[in-house]
Amino acid sequence: MIVHYRIVTGVSRGIGAALAERLLGPDRLVIGIARNDNEAVRATAEAKGCGYRFVPFDLADTTGIDGLMDELFRSIDRGRARSVALVNNAASLSPLRPIHACTDREIAGHYAVNLLAPVLLTKHFVGRTAGWNAVKSVVNVSSGSAEWPMAGMAPYCSSKAGLNAFTQCVALEQQDVDNSRTRIRRLPGHGRDRHAAAGPDEPKRRAAGGGTVSRSVRGGAADDPGTGGGTDRSAAGVEGGSSGLDQKAGRCGGGRIRMRSGPIQSLVLGIPVAKSDYDRAIDWYVGALGFELVWKKGVAQLRMPNGQKLLVFDPDDDPDSIWYAGDYEAHPHYSVQLVVGDLEKLTERLTGSGARLGPILRGGGGGRDMRIDDPFGNRWWAIEDPKPNAAAPSPLDEFSRKSSFGRSGAATDRIRLRPTGAGDLDFVVDAETAEGSRPYVGQWTRERHAEAIDDPDAMHAVIVRLGDGQRIGYVIAQGLREGRSIELKRLVVTEPGNGYGRETVRLVKRLAFAEWRARRLWLDVRAGNTRAERLYRSEGFQIEGVLRDADYADGRYVSLAVLSMLADEYVPEPAAGPAT
C-alpha cells in the first residue's frame, strides 16, 4: 500500500535522477517532474516493483504550475498518506557570463526555473497540504554559490541566495502555525570547491558532511513523524545539489599527483564514474580510446601506449579525492586533452560508440582539435599535432559543418540526426508527399533530394528514434558553405504530436549557433500552417514579415511567413544542460 509520496523536480539526470532512484520503495510513490523522463529510473522502478510516475513539465513555464500541482495531487491519497515530500532540485546554471553579456530572455528564464518555480511549488504544496495529518516536508536544494559570489555567475548566485532566504522565511511561518507538521528546509551544498580551488581541509569536510538529499527526505521528513517546522542544516555534505553534482551520480573528472622524493615523476589523471557505469566505462576507455587495463581492485588503472595513466574510480569508494565535475557548464575551466595523429581516424573509431563528438576546428597553432563528451559525463579534447606547412587558423568550413551533424552529438535523449543515405530516399519522398505533409512543405523529386545529400552547402538528415531505431522524419538545412545565415529549409515528422519536431528544431538551433557559429537561423512557413508557426515562435523565432503569394502549391498561390533567430537570442537547451 502506498503511504509515502515523494515529488522530485529535475529527474531527467544528475542528482534528480539519483535521488528518485534512492527514494523508490515498496510503500512509496515517487513522482518525477522534468521536460524528459529518465528511462533508467523508470527501469529501476519496474525491476523493483516500486511506484514511479513521471509528469512532463517545463518549469520555465511558471504560469502552468497551479495546473501542474492539480495533476500531482490527483496521485496522492490524502486519507492514507503518512508522509508527503516535495524536493525542489531542478535548476539551471546558464547563463555563465558577465551580466551585460546575458540576454533578457536568458535572465528571465534562469530566475523562472531557479527561484520562481520553487517558490510557487512550495506555496501550492504548503497550501494544499494544510491540515493534513501526514508528515509534510519541503526540501529546497541550494548551493554554496549562494554564499560565495563569483564573477560571471550573478544570476545563479543570486537566485540561490534568494531561494535560501525564501526557505528560511517559510520555515519561520510554519513555526508560527499551530500543530504544523510541515518541515521546510534547504540543502546548502558546498559551492566553494565546485567553482574554485578546494582548500586543504575541504575533502575532509565533504567526507564528514553528514547527510545526503535522499537521507534528508527518506530518513527525516519521510519517516520521522515527530519532525516539525524549521530549517535543517544536517545534510550540508551534499555537493552542489542544484546543478546535479551528487557523488553517487558520479558525473565528474579530476586529477591526482603521485609524489616521490624529489621532483614530480609522473601525473596520474583520475576520472570518477558512477558505480552503475563502472565496468562499462572501463570497457569503453579500453575499446574506444585504446587504453590498456593494468589492474582493477576497486580503483582501476588504465594506461596509454606512451605510459600515461588513467585512474577510474567510483567517488563513493574514494570519498577523500579532490575532484572536479566534468560538466562544462558547472566547470568551464575543466578539460582533458588527448594528443592524436589523425582526427579523422579517431572520429571513425568513436562514431557509434556512444560518445558525442563536436566539429573539427582549427586551433590557434595551426593544428586541429575536436571536443569529445564520453558516455559517462566526462569531457575530452582531442588535439591533433600541427602538420608541416599547416594552414593558419580559419573559421569552421562547410565540410566540418556538414559532417558534424551526423555524429552522435546531434542527438537528444529520444532522437538523433544521421546523414540521409541513398537507401533513405524512398522514405523521404513518401514522408514528403504524405497527406499530412504535402499542403505545408515543398515537393522535391527523388533526384533533387539526392543532390542535396551530396551538396556541401546543405545538411540532409534523417530523424531516427533511439528507442527502436525507426525513421520518424527528415530535416534539411542550407547555407553551410557561407555559414553566417543558415536556412532551416524543411522539417517533416511522420509521427506528429509526440514532441519530435520540437526536439529536432532544438537540435538544429544547437548546430547552427553552438557548433556552426552562425549569426542567423531562418525559415519560412506557409500560410495556414498554424501548428508549425506556433512551434517556431515558442522556440524563440521572431516573424520578420510575410511574402505575399510567394509560393505556388496544389494549383494555388500561398503566402509565406518568414521567421528568424539571431545568435544572441539563442538560449541553449538543457538537452546539453541541467534537468528542469
Distances (CA, A) of 474 to 436, 439, 536: 14, 17, 17
Q: Which of 52, 156, 324, 536 is catalytic?
A: 156
Which residues, 6 or more positions from 70, have their beta carbon under 8 angstroms from its beta carbon?
Answer: none
Instruction: Give helix 500-509 / helix 530-538 axis angle, nearest 10°.
Output: 50
Residue 217 C-alpha cell reads as 527526505
The answer to whether 378 touches 252, Cβ cutoff 8 Å, is yes
Distances (CA, A) of 141 to 227, 254, 328: 19, 24, 21
Name the strand (E) or helix (H) holding 401: helix 398-404
**Residue 419: beta bridge partners?**
461
**Residue 226: beta bridge partners?**
none
Classify residue 421 by its DSSP letter: -
**Residue 547: beta bridge partners?**
560
Q: Which residue has cell 522535391? A: 444
The answer, yes or no, to whether the previous bond of 95 is cis (omega within 30 of 0) is yes
Query: Whole-angstrom Cα distance, residue 330 to residue 96?
Result: 9
From the list 389, 245, 262, the residue with the least C-alpha distance to 323 is 245
Query: Whole-angstrom Cα distance, residue 525 to residue 478?
Result: 16
Alpha helices by DSSP H, listed for 417-574, are: 425-433, 446-454, 500-509, 530-538
Which residues, 6 or more positions from 236, have their beta carbon under 8 angstroms from its beta carbon?
Answer: 187, 188, 189, 190, 209, 210, 211
Strands annotated E in 58-134: 83-88
Query: Whole-angstrom Cα distance, residue 307 to residue 300?
Result: 15
Query: Whole-angstrom Cα distance, residue 76 to residue 28?
Result: 11
Query: Whole-angstrom Cα distance, residue 241 to residue 142?
Result: 6
Instruction: Please tell me whether residue 338 adopts helix, strand or coil conformation.
Output: strand
The answer to whether 545 touches 571, Cβ cutoff 8 Å, is no
52 is catalytic: no
Separation of CA 219 from chain center: 29
Query: Whole-angstrom Cα distance, residue 3 to residue 90?
Result: 25
Q: How many helices (H) and strands (E) does the chain have?
A: 16, 24
Residues labelled as active-site residues: 156
